[in-house]
Structures are given as C-alpha cells and as structure tokens.
C-alpha cells in the first residue's frame, strides 16, 4: 500500500497505473469506520481487477462552521493501520492511499502542474436542489464537496468512484459533477452501514459517549417506524399525506432529549429530489433526517 501526500505525485502515479489498469476510488475524510470499509469491499467486489485508491482528507471548504472543522476527528495513523488490517482480513489489496496536506492541496502556486484542475468555490454554480435539505442547513457545503471532488477526480482520473447512500444528497451532487466533467467515470453507491442498534455509522459518532451513541439509535427508530407506518397505510390506501409521516418522525425524535435541534425531516422523490405533499404507492421516495444531537450533526435516511 503506497502512501502518497503530494498531489502531483498522486497524479503521476495514477497516470502510470491507468496505462494498464482501471482505478476504483473511495474518497473519505478519514476517521475510518466499518461504513467506509463496506465501500472498499464493494469496490473490490464489483470490480476485482481494478487498482483501489483511497483518499483521506478532511476538506476544510465543505464545513460551514470553522469550529465543526476543528472538532472533526483527524486520525491518519489509526486510519492507515485500519486499512492495512482490512487488506489482511479481506484478502484484497489497496494500491494507494492519498493523504493531501491541508489547504495547500488546492494551491496553484504550490502545484503548478495541477493549475487546470482547480475550481474556486465562487465559480461553482449548482442546481436549486443543492440549496435545499442539507444544503439549506449547511450553506456552502455542497460547493465545498464539489470543489474537492473536482480536484480529486482530475488528479486520480478514476474509472469507478464509490460513495455511500448515507449522504444521499451528496450522491446526487457527485452524479451532477460526473455528468458535467467526468463522463468516463462510473459512480457506484453503497448501502448505509449501521451499528447493531441501527445508528448509521459516522466518523462524528466518535465524539459521542457510549450512552449518547446508544440513544442516538432513536434516529433510525424514527425512520423505521415511519416506513412501517407507510407499509401499513398502503394496505388500504394508495397515497399518504407527507405531513402525517413527518409529524410521526418528529414526535419520535423529540422524545429523545439529546436531540438539540431538528434541522430537517423531509420526504423527497428519489428521481429528482423534489419535495412532495403526498406519497403514492409504487413510487420511489427517500425520507431524510438531519439533526443536531449531543453537540454533533447527524444525518440519516431510509428509502421508501
């Protein structure tokens, strides 16, 4: 497993690999957990002949609040160890880990050969849906994600990039980016990997105590209960009012005192991410929740 910090070196290395092999790429912000590892396993399972590259980079430009960025876990050494163990355990090979250093990653002057692969946040124009849901409670977040992926995809030129459905709206953003700039790239999505309690795994969970972590399963409980309610209602109805479902979710979430703020509870069409007043039998939706829980931002979703 090669460890590369310099973007120019990463670019040269990836170009050399691409003469013979295809590349599967898994971008992460580190603080690796089983959810990340499930994406690696998926990359390998779907395309076993590709070279696997993982990036570890806590991208400052996607954080709305500086404090949130500073509190985000930085665990590079532990992450490398986890990747080595995972290789052994799964009998797969991670070809390279890309660990760009700080804000210089974006620097034109520091890496002149990568100048063409730079996009400024203010030059990114996103469709309306990225200013809704997570985009509404975290202004600038999706532009930051777009900015870093634009650079990473240009440097690595992967054939496959693997993303988790946990960040549902992020997958839509990646698809948008792919259509605009990276037609050679295939986006693969992985299911949400959960704790036995149902809590969606997240690097931010590291900041929760055992008790807080256990009780955070209320988020999944609310999503599951809504799904069960919907299935029951569909036995006698062809459509259900969204308001009824959202208030059911809200009541369950509010029963947990660690929930400090509900940023959003929404049902959107899976096709175009548009909001709706009612859901109809046999159509596809996603129920998304975003909350402030015991001082951290948690998101989750369930497919309907």
Per-residue contact flags (x/-) with ligand AMP for residues 1 to 40, judged by CB under 6 A: ---------------------------xx-----xx-xx-
What single DSSP character describes residue 159? S
Q: Which CB atom, from 142 or from 193, has the smaller least distance to ligand AMP?
A: 193
Radius of gyration, alpha carbons of the chain: 20
Least distance in angstroms from the C-beta of 151 to ligand AMP: 15
Least distance in angstroms from the C-beta of 4 to ligand AMP: 18
Q: Which CB atom, from 149 or from 252, has the smaller least distance to ligand AMP?
A: 149
Decide: 142 and 126 in contact? Cβ < 8 Å. yes
Per-residue contact flags (x/-) with ligand AMP for residues 175 to 194, judged by CB under 6 A: ---------------x-xx-
Residues serving a catalytic function are 36
Tell which one of 61, 202, 217, 290 touches ligand AMP (CB under 6 A).
202
Rounded-to-integer distance, Cα 272 and Cα 285, Å = 10
Q: Which CB atom, from 192 or from 259, has the smaller least distance to ligand AMP?
A: 192
Considering only CA atoms, which of 242, 237, 229 is closest in space to residue 286? Answer: 242
Phi first, then psi, for residue 290 (nearest 5°) are -135, 120
Least distance in angstroms from the C-beta of 31 to ligand AMP: 7
CA-to-CA separations, 125 to 22, 128, 180, 274, 299, in angstroms, rounded: 30, 9, 12, 19, 24
Tell which one of 54, 94, 149, 201 touches ligand AMP (CB under 6 A).
201
Q: Which residues touch 13 (CB under 8 Å, ≥6 apart)?
A: 2, 4, 96
Decide: 199 and 220 in contact? Cβ < 8 Å. yes
Least distance in angstroms from the C-beta of 24 to ligand AMP: 13
Q: Please report the sign of the dihedral spanned by the C-alpha atoms of residue 45, residue 49, residue 50, residue 55.
A: positive
What single DSSP character describes residue 208? S
Tell which one of 203, 205, 290, 301 touches ligand AMP (CB under 6 A).
203
Rounded-to-integer distance, Cα 271 and Cα 286, Å = 10
Per-residue contact flags (x/-) with ligand AMP for residues 57 to 96, judged by CB under 6 A: ----------------------------------------
Least distance in angstroms from the C-beta of 95 to ligand AMP: 18
Choices 163-171, 252-260, 269-277, 291-299 (CB under 6 A): range interacting with ligand AMP: 163-171
Within 10 A of 110 (CB to CB), how many other CB atoms are there? Answer: 14
Contacting residues toward ligand AMP, per CB under 6 A: 28-29, 35-36, 38-39, 163-164, 166-167, 190, 192-193, 200-203
């Amino acid at each position: 497993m090669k460890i590369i910090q310099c973007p120019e070196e990463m670019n040269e290395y990836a170009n050399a690999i691409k003469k013979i092999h295809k590349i599967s790429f898994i971008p992460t912000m580190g603080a690796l957990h089983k959810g990340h590892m499930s994406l690696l396993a998926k990359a390998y399972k779907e395309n076993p002949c590709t070279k696997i590259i993982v990036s570890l980079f806590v991208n400052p430009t996607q954080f709305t609040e500086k404090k949130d960025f500073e509190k985000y876990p930085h665990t590079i050494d532990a992450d490398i160890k986890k990747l080595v163990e995972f290789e052994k355990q799964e009998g797969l090979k991670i070809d390279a880990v890309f660990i760009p250093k700080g804000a210089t990653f974006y620097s034109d002057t520091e890496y002149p050969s990568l100048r063409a692969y730079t996009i400024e946040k203010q030059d990114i124009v996103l469709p309306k849906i990225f200013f809704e849901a997570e985009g509404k409670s975290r202004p600038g977040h999706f532009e930051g994600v777009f900015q870093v992926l634009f650079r990473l995809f240009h440097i690595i030129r992967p054939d496959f990039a693997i993303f988790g459905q946990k960040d549902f709206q992020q997958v839509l953003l990646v698809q948008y980016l792919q259509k605009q700039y990276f037609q050679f790239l295939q986006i693969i999505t992985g299911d949400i990997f959960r704790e036995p309690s149902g809590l969606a795994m997240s690097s931010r969970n590291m900041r929760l105590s055992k008790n807080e972590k256990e009780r955070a399963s209320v988020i999944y409980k609310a999503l599951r209960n809504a799904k069960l309610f919907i299935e029951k209602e569909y036995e006698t109805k062809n459509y259900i009012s969204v308001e009824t479902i959202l208030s059911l979710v809200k009541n369950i979430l509010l029963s947990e005192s660690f929930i400090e703020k509900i940023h959003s509870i929404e049902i959107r069409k899976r096709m175009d991410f548009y909001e709706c007043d009612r859901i109809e039998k046999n159509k596809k939706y996603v129920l998304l929740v975003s909350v402030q829980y015991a001082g951290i931002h948690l998101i989750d979703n369930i497919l309907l």
